[in-house]
Amino acid sequence: MTKTRIGILGYGNLGRGVELSCRQNDDLELVALFTRRNPASVKPLTEGVAVYSADDLAAHVNDVDVLILCGGSARDLPEQTPAYAGLFNVVDSFDTHANIPAHFANVDAAAKEGGKVAVISAGWDPGMFSLARLYANCILPEGADYTFWGRGVSQGHSDAIRRIEGVADARQYTVPVPAALDSVRAGRNPQLTTREKHTRECFVVAEEGADLAAIEKAIVEMPNYFADYDTTVMFISQEELDRDHAGIPHGGSVIRSGLTGENGEHRHVVEFSLKLDSNPEFTGSVLTACARAAHRLSREGQTGCKTMFDIAPAYLSSKSGEELRAEML
Ligand code: NDP
């Protein structure tokens, strides 16, 4: 079997998730990690994997079939993906939904110029949730879409709390409102406000002597992040935070509720749900499947930017068409 040689750029939570996923796929071989930090300071989980400076990436174009970009969506990927899509086949998890069309255009130009394939915005949302929305919309053109997230950790909201004066550490959970979920699952197609869909739970470690009431007020009134939600704030010790909130779970449900029949008398509810113990390990596993597809598309002579919408499902699998038809159809 010819293995797909994987490189990882950026070694945070997601980089480690991709590394662990490579171990579970015999047709993928992790050949190198690249980091913007001092390579000597980055210790991979896997013995023997080389760590190089991101500055040396261009010297490794012949060693890597697909470079998986594991930087952050806010600042890293808008620069890194277009910069490397001309040199390598690449996969990223860019998740700033509103900016996906602009990111696609930038990456598409670079990938076409370099004759490479780039898969952007892979993961679970965007990614597997996007596919669930697309399939259900194709099948049920008359209906309504709902996405519920959680219960899960939002890194962005946790970071926003940590920036408040007097906060030493924090973990924020996004939680779907059970009554809203029940109503959607029952096919009632409710109109839901932001507040009616999700609540936010904040576990906060305060610095000694901090004004707890002021911290709570700053959180629940924070525009864009908390003001539109019912938010609860619980103050706990660092020890409790480390003990009870160290994981990065997430998940949620994409639901489409639609009608068919002569007079729309038949209701159908399509639900795709994920319950993830580790957001980065699951996301990393989606990225490696997309890397396999990117390598295949590249070998077929395709170039340019793709999303998961453009990848035929069988391309994600290490199994042959014959095996898939026998085992999963
Ligand atoms: P991290 O903050 O853990 O890592 C981001 C980058 O920070 C790393 O690639 C790393 O790059 C750099 N970094 C700098 N200092 C350190 C350090 N001390 N330890 C670790 N990393 C460091 O982010 P995540 O890996 O959790 O998430 C990356 C992105 O994945 C998110 O921004 C999000 O947009 C996306 N994502 C997408 C999902 C989807 O469904 N599409 C789901 C989940 C996440 P370097 O090694 O070069 O320094």
- pLDDT tens-digit series, residues 39-97: 999 999 999 999 999 999 999 999 999 999 999 999 999 999 999 999 999 999 999 99
Minimal-distance CA residue to ligand 1 atom 17: 12
Q: Would you say 186 is a known binding-site residue?
A: no
Considering only CA atoms, which residue is closest to atom 13 of ligand 1? 12
Which are the contacts of 52, defined by CB distance < 8 A and separation ≥ 6?
32, 33, 34, 35, 39, 60
Residues 290 and 310: beta-carbon distance below 8 Å: no
- Say which residues have a Cβ less than 8 Å from residue 232's Cβ, sequence separation at least 6: 199, 200, 201, 202
Q: What gap in Å lies between CA 156 and CA 105, rounded to an integer?
A: 26
Atom from ligand 1 closest to the CA of residue 14:
25
- How large a percentage of the chain has pLDDT more than 70? 100
Domain boundaries, given as residue ranges, for the chain = 4-125+280-328, 129-278
Q: For the residues 171-185, what does the mean pLDDT come to?
A: 97
Whether 280 shows a pLDDT value over 90: the answer reads yes
Domain 4-125+280-328: top CATH class: alpha beta
Of ligand 1's listed atoms, the one at least distance from the Cα of 248 is: 26
pLDDT tens for 12-25 read: 999 999 999 999 99
Decide whether any atom of ligand 1 lies within 6 Å of the 126 Cβ. Answer: yes
4-125+280-328 and 129-278 agree in CATH topology: no
Asked if residue 39 belongs to a known ligand binding site, the reply is no
Q: Does ligand 1 come within 6 angstroms of the Cβ of 13? A: yes
Asked whether 124 lines ligand 1 (CB < 6 A), one says yes
Look up the pTM and report it. Answer: 0.96
In the predicted structure, residue 179 carries a pLDDT above the cut 80:
yes
- Our CA dihedral for 36, 99, 272, 252, rounded to 10 degrees, sits at 70
- Per CATH, the number for 129-278 is 3.30.360.10
Model ipTM value:
0.98
121 vs 182: CA distance, rounded Å = 30
How many whole angstroms from 186 Cα to the centroid of ligand 1?
38
Q: How far is the CA of 13 from the centre of ligand 1 (A)?
A: 6
**67 φ, ψ to 5°?**
-100, 120
Closest residue by CA, ligand 1 atom 34: 73
Residue 13 alpha carbon, nearest atom of ligand 1: 25
Measured CA to CA in angstroms, residue 182 lies from 61, 146, 224 at distances of 51, 12, 26
pLDDT > 90 fraction of the chain, expressed in percent and rounded: 98
Residue owning tokens 């001092």: 38
